[in-house]
Amino acid sequence: MDTRLLRTFVTLARAGSFTAAARSLHLAQSTVTVQIRTLEKELGTPLFDRMPSGTIPTRAGLRLLEEAEEVLDAVARLRAAASAAHGDAESGTVEGEVAVGAGDSLCSSRLPAVIASLRRSHPRLDVHLDAVSTAAAVDGLRTGRLDIALLLEPEVAENDLLARKIASEPLAYVAAPDHPLAGRAADWDELAHECFFLHEEGCSYSDRLMRTLLGLPGARPRITRFGSIDAARSCVAAGLGLTLLPHVTVERHLEEGRLAVVNGPDAQPVPVQLVRHRRRWFSPGARVVTEELTRVFAAAS
Protein backbone atom coordinates (compact mmCIF):
# COMPACT_ATOMS: atom_id res chain seq x y z
CA MET A 1 0.00 0.00 0.00
CA ASP A 2 1.27 3.46 -0.90
CA THR A 3 1.88 5.29 2.38
CA ARG A 4 1.15 8.58 0.62
CA LEU A 5 -2.49 7.49 0.47
CA LEU A 6 -2.49 6.83 4.22
CA ARG A 7 -0.97 10.26 4.96
CA THR A 8 -3.61 11.92 2.80
CA PHE A 9 -6.32 9.91 4.56
CA VAL A 10 -5.07 10.91 8.03
CA THR A 11 -4.76 14.55 7.03
CA LEU A 12 -8.28 14.65 5.59
CA ALA A 13 -9.72 12.95 8.66
CA ARG A 14 -8.14 15.62 10.89
CA ALA A 15 -8.72 18.61 8.60
CA GLY A 16 -12.41 17.95 7.91
CA SER A 17 -12.47 19.08 4.28
CA PHE A 18 -10.72 18.36 1.01
CA THR A 19 -9.77 22.03 0.69
CA ALA A 20 -8.09 22.16 4.10
CA ALA A 21 -6.35 18.82 3.56
CA ALA A 22 -5.01 19.94 0.17
CA ARG A 23 -3.69 23.15 1.72
CA SER A 24 -2.02 21.25 4.54
CA LEU A 25 -0.41 18.73 2.18
CA HIS A 26 0.51 21.34 -0.46
CA LEU A 27 -1.40 19.35 -3.08
CA ALA A 28 -4.11 20.18 -5.57
CA GLN A 29 -7.58 19.38 -4.23
CA SER A 30 -8.15 17.07 -7.20
CA THR A 31 -5.06 15.07 -6.18
CA VAL A 32 -6.41 14.60 -2.66
CA THR A 33 -9.75 13.45 -4.11
CA VAL A 34 -8.06 10.91 -6.41
CA GLN A 35 -5.88 9.55 -3.60
CA ILE A 36 -8.85 9.06 -1.25
CA ARG A 37 -10.88 7.33 -3.97
CA THR A 38 -7.90 5.08 -4.73
CA LEU A 39 -7.58 4.12 -1.07
CA GLU A 40 -11.31 3.47 -0.73
CA LYS A 41 -11.23 1.25 -3.83
CA GLU A 42 -8.20 -0.63 -2.53
CA LEU A 43 -9.81 -1.24 0.87
CA GLY A 44 -13.27 -1.91 -0.59
CA THR A 45 -15.14 0.49 1.71
CA PRO A 46 -16.08 4.18 1.89
CA LEU A 47 -13.87 6.05 4.37
CA PHE A 48 -15.68 9.40 4.40
CA ASP A 49 -19.20 10.75 4.21
CA ARG A 50 -19.19 13.82 1.95
CA MET A 51 -21.40 16.41 3.65
CA PRO A 52 -22.19 20.03 2.65
CA SER A 53 -20.25 21.19 5.70
CA GLY A 54 -17.21 18.99 5.01
CA THR A 55 -16.05 15.39 5.30
CA ILE A 56 -16.79 13.05 8.20
CA PRO A 57 -15.03 9.68 8.63
CA THR A 58 -17.33 6.68 8.35
CA ARG A 59 -17.18 3.96 11.01
CA ALA A 60 -14.65 2.14 8.84
CA GLY A 61 -12.69 5.38 8.50
CA LEU A 62 -12.59 5.91 12.25
CA ARG A 63 -11.37 2.34 12.80
CA LEU A 64 -8.68 2.83 10.18
CA LEU A 65 -7.44 6.18 11.51
CA GLU A 66 -5.42 4.95 14.48
CA GLU A 67 -4.05 2.01 12.48
CA ALA A 68 -2.98 4.35 9.68
CA GLU A 69 -1.17 6.62 12.14
CA GLU A 70 0.71 3.62 13.54
CA VAL A 71 1.75 2.55 10.03
CA LEU A 72 3.03 6.05 9.25
CA ASP A 73 4.96 6.10 12.52
CA ALA A 74 6.51 2.72 11.69
CA VAL A 75 7.58 4.00 8.27
CA ALA A 76 9.11 7.09 9.88
CA ARG A 77 11.04 4.88 12.31
CA LEU A 78 12.39 2.76 9.46
CA ARG A 79 13.53 5.80 7.51
CA ALA A 80 15.16 7.31 10.59
CA ALA A 81 16.95 4.05 11.36
CA ALA A 82 18.32 3.92 7.82
CA SER A 83 19.38 7.57 8.01
CA ALA A 84 21.00 7.03 11.40
CA ALA A 85 22.96 4.05 10.12
CA HIS A 86 24.15 6.04 7.12
CA GLY A 87 24.91 9.04 9.30
CA ASP A 88 26.94 6.97 11.76
CA ALA A 89 29.00 5.59 8.92
CA GLU A 90 29.49 8.87 7.11
CA SER A 91 29.54 11.64 9.67
CA GLY A 92 28.44 10.52 13.10
CA THR A 93 25.65 13.13 13.12
CA VAL A 94 21.88 12.84 13.29
CA GLU A 95 20.13 12.97 9.92
CA GLY A 96 16.61 13.40 8.68
CA GLU A 97 13.89 16.04 8.59
CA VAL A 98 12.07 17.72 11.46
CA ALA A 99 9.04 19.96 10.98
CA VAL A 100 8.53 22.67 13.60
CA GLY A 101 5.42 24.83 13.83
CA ALA A 102 5.28 28.10 15.75
CA GLY A 103 3.53 31.43 15.80
CA ASP A 104 4.64 34.40 13.72
CA SER A 105 6.40 36.10 16.63
CA LEU A 106 8.63 33.13 17.48
CA CYS A 107 9.35 32.32 13.82
CA SER A 108 10.66 35.81 13.20
CA SER A 109 12.55 36.30 16.47
CA ARG A 110 13.74 33.21 18.32
CA LEU A 111 13.79 30.34 15.84
CA PRO A 112 16.29 31.58 13.22
CA ALA A 113 19.05 31.27 15.85
CA VAL A 114 17.98 27.70 16.59
CA ILE A 115 18.10 26.68 12.94
CA ALA A 116 21.47 28.37 12.43
CA SER A 117 22.93 26.55 15.44
CA LEU A 118 21.59 23.19 14.27
CA ARG A 119 23.01 23.64 10.79
CA ARG A 120 26.45 24.04 12.34
CA SER A 121 26.18 21.14 14.77
CA HIS A 122 24.08 18.75 12.62
CA PRO A 123 24.53 19.70 8.96
CA ARG A 124 22.58 16.66 7.71
CA LEU A 125 19.53 17.48 9.81
CA ASP A 126 16.95 19.54 7.89
CA VAL A 127 14.63 21.65 10.05
CA HIS A 128 11.50 22.94 8.31
CA LEU A 129 9.86 25.93 9.99
CA ASP A 130 6.15 26.60 9.54
CA ALA A 131 4.49 29.81 10.80
CA VAL A 132 1.09 28.64 12.05
CA SER A 133 -1.68 29.55 14.44
CA THR A 134 -2.28 27.53 17.60
CA ALA A 135 -5.16 25.64 15.98
CA ALA A 136 -3.10 24.84 12.88
CA ALA A 137 -0.16 23.70 15.04
CA VAL A 138 -2.37 21.30 17.00
CA ASP A 139 -3.82 19.95 13.75
CA GLY A 140 -0.31 19.60 12.31
CA LEU A 141 0.83 17.53 15.29
CA ARG A 142 -2.21 15.28 15.00
CA THR A 143 -1.85 14.68 11.27
CA GLY A 144 1.90 14.15 11.47
CA ARG A 145 2.69 17.20 9.34
CA LEU A 146 4.53 18.68 12.34
CA ASP A 147 6.90 16.92 14.72
CA ILE A 148 7.14 19.75 17.25
CA ALA A 149 5.14 22.89 17.97
CA LEU A 150 5.89 25.95 20.06
CA LEU A 151 2.75 27.56 21.43
CA LEU A 152 2.39 30.86 23.28
CA GLU A 153 -0.32 29.53 25.57
CA PRO A 154 -0.85 29.47 29.36
CA GLU A 155 -1.59 25.74 29.08
CA VAL A 156 -2.25 23.01 26.52
CA ALA A 157 -5.18 20.87 27.59
CA GLU A 158 -5.31 18.44 24.66
CA ASN A 159 -5.21 14.84 25.94
CA ASP A 160 -3.33 13.50 22.92
CA LEU A 161 -0.54 16.08 23.20
CA LEU A 162 2.41 16.40 25.57
CA ALA A 163 3.37 19.97 26.51
CA ARG A 164 6.26 21.36 28.53
CA LYS A 165 6.88 24.99 29.39
CA ILE A 166 10.40 25.98 28.31
CA ALA A 167 10.31 29.77 28.73
CA SER A 168 8.15 32.85 29.09
CA GLU A 169 7.93 35.80 26.72
CA PRO A 170 7.46 39.27 28.28
CA LEU A 171 4.76 41.39 26.66
CA ALA A 172 4.80 45.11 25.95
CA TYR A 173 2.17 47.74 25.14
CA VAL A 174 3.59 49.96 22.39
CA ALA A 175 2.54 52.99 20.36
CA ALA A 176 4.13 55.45 17.96
CA PRO A 177 6.56 57.85 19.70
CA ASP A 178 4.19 60.80 19.16
CA HIS A 179 1.12 59.01 20.52
CA PRO A 180 -0.39 60.77 23.59
CA LEU A 181 0.17 57.66 25.73
CA ALA A 182 3.75 56.98 24.59
CA GLY A 183 6.19 56.80 27.50
CA ARG A 184 3.59 57.36 30.18
CA ALA A 185 1.34 55.30 32.43
CA ALA A 186 -2.12 54.40 31.20
CA ASP A 187 -4.90 52.67 33.13
CA TRP A 188 -7.80 50.58 31.84
CA ASP A 189 -10.11 53.62 31.68
CA GLU A 190 -7.78 55.27 29.16
CA LEU A 191 -7.13 52.11 27.15
CA ALA A 192 -10.87 51.40 26.91
CA HIS A 193 -11.26 54.22 24.38
CA GLU A 194 -8.17 53.58 22.23
CA CYS A 195 -7.68 51.89 18.86
CA PHE A 196 -5.89 48.53 19.11
CA PHE A 197 -4.24 46.49 16.39
CA LEU A 198 -3.93 42.93 17.68
CA HIS A 199 -2.69 39.58 16.44
CA GLU A 200 -5.23 37.19 14.94
CA GLU A 201 -8.02 35.41 16.81
CA GLY A 202 -6.63 32.41 18.65
CA CYS A 203 -3.57 34.30 19.92
CA SER A 204 -3.88 33.82 23.68
CA TYR A 205 -2.55 37.18 24.89
CA SER A 206 -4.45 39.16 22.22
CA ASP A 207 -7.70 37.30 22.95
CA ARG A 208 -7.27 37.96 26.67
CA LEU A 209 -6.68 41.68 26.12
CA MET A 210 -9.69 41.98 23.82
CA ARG A 211 -11.97 40.25 26.35
CA THR A 212 -10.72 42.57 29.09
CA LEU A 213 -11.20 45.71 27.00
CA LEU A 214 -14.70 44.77 25.86
CA GLY A 215 -15.69 43.88 29.42
CA LEU A 216 -14.86 47.30 30.85
CA PRO A 217 -17.84 49.50 31.83
CA GLY A 218 -18.55 52.01 29.07
CA ALA A 219 -15.70 50.68 26.94
CA ARG A 220 -15.58 51.80 23.30
CA PRO A 221 -12.30 50.40 21.96
CA ARG A 222 -11.77 49.94 18.23
CA ILE A 223 -10.06 46.59 17.67
CA THR A 224 -8.58 45.29 14.43
CA ARG A 225 -7.10 41.77 14.20
CA PHE A 226 -4.28 40.80 11.83
CA GLY A 227 -2.83 37.45 10.83
CA SER A 228 0.59 39.11 10.67
CA ILE A 229 2.41 40.67 13.61
CA ASP A 230 4.28 42.86 11.15
CA ALA A 231 0.99 44.33 9.89
CA ALA A 232 -0.18 45.16 13.42
CA ARG A 233 3.19 46.64 14.30
CA SER A 234 3.27 48.76 11.13
CA CYS A 235 -0.18 50.24 11.81
CA VAL A 236 0.92 51.19 15.31
CA ALA A 237 4.20 52.69 14.08
CA ALA A 238 2.14 54.83 11.68
CA GLY A 239 0.37 56.38 14.68
CA LEU A 240 -2.97 54.63 14.26
CA GLY A 241 -3.22 53.14 17.76
CA LEU A 242 -1.69 50.68 20.23
CA THR A 243 -0.83 47.01 20.33
CA LEU A 244 0.30 44.37 22.81
CA LEU A 245 3.09 42.13 21.53
CA PRO A 246 5.97 40.00 22.83
CA HIS A 247 8.78 42.40 23.70
CA VAL A 248 11.21 40.52 21.45
CA THR A 249 9.11 41.42 18.37
CA VAL A 250 9.31 45.17 19.05
CA GLU A 251 12.77 45.38 20.61
CA ARG A 252 14.53 46.66 17.50
CA HIS A 253 11.74 49.14 16.75
CA LEU A 254 12.01 50.55 20.27
CA GLU A 255 15.78 50.89 19.97
CA GLU A 256 15.43 52.70 16.63
CA GLY A 257 12.76 55.06 17.98
CA ARG A 258 10.00 53.83 15.67
CA LEU A 259 7.90 52.67 18.62
CA ALA A 260 7.60 53.67 22.27
CA VAL A 261 6.49 51.72 25.33
CA VAL A 262 3.15 52.52 26.95
CA ASN A 263 3.16 51.69 30.66
CA GLY A 264 -0.22 50.03 30.64
CA PRO A 265 -1.83 47.64 33.14
CA ASP A 266 0.25 44.62 34.06
CA ALA A 267 0.49 42.09 31.23
CA GLN A 268 1.81 38.77 32.51
CA PRO A 269 4.53 37.10 30.41
CA VAL A 270 3.06 34.42 28.17
CA PRO A 271 4.46 30.87 28.56
CA VAL A 272 6.23 29.17 25.66
CA GLN A 273 4.99 25.58 25.48
CA LEU A 274 6.98 22.93 23.61
CA VAL A 275 4.43 20.42 22.36
CA ARG A 276 4.52 17.03 20.63
CA HIS A 277 2.05 14.23 20.01
CA ARG A 278 1.69 11.81 22.91
CA ARG A 279 1.54 8.59 20.85
CA ARG A 280 3.51 9.51 17.78
CA TRP A 281 7.10 8.29 17.51
CA PHE A 282 9.68 10.95 18.38
CA SER A 283 12.68 10.67 16.08
CA PRO A 284 16.32 11.24 17.09
CA GLY A 285 16.29 14.39 14.97
CA ALA A 286 13.23 15.72 16.81
CA ARG A 287 14.99 15.06 20.13
CA VAL A 288 18.03 17.04 18.97
CA VAL A 289 15.82 19.94 17.89
CA THR A 290 13.97 19.84 21.21
CA GLU A 291 17.22 20.00 23.15
CA GLU A 292 18.41 22.99 21.10
CA LEU A 293 15.08 24.79 21.46
CA THR A 294 15.22 24.32 25.21
CA ARG A 295 18.81 25.60 25.35
CA VAL A 296 18.19 28.70 23.22
CA PHE A 297 15.00 29.72 25.02
CA ALA A 298 16.62 29.18 28.43
CA ALA A 299 19.55 31.38 27.40
CA ALA A 300 17.18 34.12 26.23
CA SER A 301 15.17 34.13 29.47
Q: Enumerate residues 6+ apart whose C-beta is below 8 A from 2.
A: none
User: Looking at residues 205-223, what average pLDDT do you find?
Assistant: 92
pLDDT for residue 93 is more than 70:
no
pLDDT value of position 84: 58
Residue 84 and residue 208 in one domain: no
Residue 183 and residue 236 in one domain: yes
> pLDDT category, 90, cuts 50, 70, 90?
very low
Distance of CA 72 to CAs 4, 47, 189, 279, 294, Å? 9, 18, 54, 12, 27
pLDDT for residue 91 is more than 70:
no
Among 92, 109, 126, where does a domain finish? 92
The pLDDT tens digits of the residues spanning 153-212 come to 999 988 899 999 999 999 999 999 999 999 999 999 999 999 999 998 889 999 999 999
pLDDT value of position 249: 93
Residue 113 and residue 238 in one domain: no
User: Looking at residues 50-69, what average pLDDT do you find?
Assistant: 88
The pLDDT tens digits of the residues spanning 267-295 come to 899 999 999 998 887 888 899 999 999 99
Q: How far is CA 124 from the centre of its chain?
A: 24
Residue 282 and residue 141 in one domain: yes
pLDDT value of position 81: 67
Residue 256 and residue 290 in one domain: no
Residue 60 and residue 23 in one domain: yes
Domain ranges, residue 258 = 171-267
Three-class SS of the chain: CCHHHHHHHHHHHHHCCHHHHHHHHCCCHHHHHHHHHHHHHHHCCCCEEEECCEEEECHHHHHHHHHHHHHHHHHHHHHHHHHHHHHHHHCCCCCEEEEEEECHHHHHHCHHHHHHHHHHHCCCEEEEEEECCHHHHHHHHHHCCCCEEEEECCCCCCCCEEEEEEEEECEEEEECCCCCCCCCECCHHHHCCCEEEEECCCCHHHHHHHHHHHCCCCCCCEEEEECCHHHHHHHHHCCCCEEEEEHHHHHHHHHCCCCEEEECCCCCCEEEEEEEECCCCCCHHHHHHHHHHHHHHHHHC
The answer, as to whether pTM is greater than 0.75, is no
Query: What CATH code is carried by the domain that includes residue 59?
Result: 1.10.10.10
Residue 15 and residue 55 in one domain: yes
Query: What CATH code is carried by the domain that includes residue 119?
Result: 3.40.190.10
User: Comparing 1 with 55, which gets the higher pLDDT?
Assistant: 55
User: Looking at residues 146-157, what average pLDDT do you find?
Assistant: 93
Residue 38 and residue 98 in one domain: no
pLDDT value of position 213: 94
pLDDT for residue 121 is more than 70:
yes
User: Looking at residues 6-30, what average pLDDT do you find?
Assistant: 88
Among 47, 66, 92, where does a domain finish? 92
User: Looking at residues 47-67, what average pLDDT do you find?
Assistant: 89
Residue 258 and residue 182 in one domain: yes
Among 92, 120, 137, where does a domain finish? 92
pLDDT for residue 88 is more than 60:
no
Helix axes 3-15, 18-25, angle to 10 degrees: 130
Task: Calculate what percentage of the chain has a pLDDT beyond 70.
Answer: 95
Mean of pLDDT over the chain: 89
With beta carbons less than 8 A apart as the criterion, state whether 15 and 32 touch.
Answer: no
> pLDDT category, 223, cuts 50, 70, 90?
very high
How far, in Å, CA of 301 to CA of 299, rounded?
6
pLDDT value of position 74: 81
Residue 101 and residue 239 in one domain: no
Residue 164 and residue 240 in one domain: no
> pLDDT category, 86, cuts 50, 70, 90?
low
> pLDDT category, 80, cuts 50, 70, 90?
low
pLDDT value of position 279: 81
- Structural domains counted in the chain: 3
Residue 258 and residue 287 in one domain: no
pLDDT value of position 89: 40
pLDDT value of position 273: 96
